[in-house]
Amino acid sequence: MVELMKTFIEDRNRVQPHHANNLGSAHGGNLLRWMDEVGAMSAMRFAGSPCVTAHIDSVDFERPLDIGDIALVEAYVYDHGRTSVRVRIRAHAEDPLTGSQEVTTESYFVFVAVDDDRKPTPVPELTVSSPEAEQLREEALADEESA
Average pLDDT, the chain: 96
Whole-number percent of the chain with pLDDT over 70:
99
Ordered domains of the chain (ranges, CATH):
2-146 (3.10.129.10)
Q: What is the pLDDT of residue 147?
A: 63
Say how many C-beta atoms besides its own lie within 10 A of residue 22's C-beta.
6
Evaluate if pTM is beyond 0.75: yes
- pLDDT reading at 123 higher than 90: yes
Q: How confident is the model at residue 107 (pLDDT cuts 50, 70, 90)?
A: very high
pLDDT tens readout for residues 4-54: 999 999 999 999 999 999 999 999 999 999 999 999 999 999 999 999 999
Query: How far is Cα 103 from Cα 73, in angstroms, rounded to an integer?
Result: 10
